C-alpha cells in the first residue's frame, strides 16, 4: 500500500496541514491582541498614568470615546492623541540608588566591627547549641593534662611538660 502513495501528494498534504496550523495560530494571536486592547481601553480613565508609543509618560486628563481621542498631561504639557497612541499603563519600576546601597554596606561593616570588638571569640566558627554544649562538656587533651592531679613533685612534672611541648 505504501508503494501506491505519490510523494507529491504527501508533500501537498503536509503543506496544507502546515498552512492550517499557521492560520489557527495567527487567529488566536489576533484574538489575544484584541482582548488586551479592549482591556486597555476600559482601563483608560482620567488620572491613569500611561506610557505613549513614543516613550512619553503622561496622566490621562480626559477620554473622548466618540472620536477615539484622549487628552494627556505630561509635566504641564497637554496633548490630544488618538487612543492607539497609548502603549499601555505605566508602572514605575522599583529602583535602589547606588548611593543608598553603599551607605547600607558601610553601616553593616561598622556594625560587624563593633560586634567583633565585643566578643573575643568572634573569629571562631559558630556552632549550633548542641555543638557548643558538646564542646564545653568534652575537654581537650591539653586541658585534661593541665587539670589532672599534679604528679609527684620533682622530675615527673618536668617530663610531662617536656612531652606536652614536643606534642604541640
> Confidence band (pLDDT; 50, 70, 90) for 122?
very low
Tell me, yes or no, if the pTM score tops 0.75: no
> What does the pLDDT average to over 8-30?
95
Cβ–Cβ under 8 Å, residues 72 and 79: yes
For 64, other C-beta atoms within 10 Å of its C-beta total: 11
Per DSSP, the residues of 73-101 read: EETTEEEEEEGGGEEEE--PPP---HHHH
Residue 64's SS3 state is strand
DSSP 8-state assignment for residue 123: G
Residue among 20, 99, 83, 3 at smallest CA distance from 50: 83
pLDDT of amino acid 78: 92
pLDDT of amino acid 143: 53
> Confidence band (pLDDT; 50, 70, 90) for 29?
very high
Q: Is 60 exceeded by the pLDDT of residue 6?
A: yes
Amino acid at each position: 500500500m505504501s508503494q501506491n502513495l505519490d510523494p507529491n501528494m504527501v508533500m501537498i498534504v503536509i503543506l496544507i496541514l502546515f498552512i492550517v496550523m499557521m492560520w489557527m495560530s495567527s487567529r488566536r494571536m489576533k484574538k489575544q491582541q484584541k482582548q488586551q486592547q479592549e482591556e486597555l481601553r476600559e482601563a483608560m480613565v482620567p488620572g491613569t498614568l500611561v506610557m505613549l508609543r513614543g516613550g512619553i509618560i503622561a496622566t490621562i486628563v480626559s477620554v473622548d470615546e466618540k472620536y477615539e481621542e484622549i487628552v494627556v498631561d505630561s509635566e504641564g504639557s497637554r496633548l490630544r492623541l488618538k487612543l492607539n497612541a497609548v502603549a499601555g499603563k505605566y508602572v514605575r519600576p522599583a529602583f535602589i540608588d547606588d548611593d543608598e546601597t553603599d551607605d547600607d554596606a558601610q553601616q553593616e561593616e561598622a556594625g560587624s566591627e563593633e560586634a567583633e570588638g565585643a566578643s573575643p571569640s568572634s573569629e571562631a566558627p559558630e556552632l549550633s547549641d548542641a555543638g557548643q554544649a558538646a564542646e564545653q562538656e568534652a575537654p581537650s587533651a591539653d586541658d585534661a593534662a593541665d587539670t589532672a592531679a599534679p604528679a609527684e613533685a620533682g622530675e615527673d612534672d618536668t617530663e610531662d611538660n617536656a612531652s606536652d611541648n614536643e606534642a604541640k
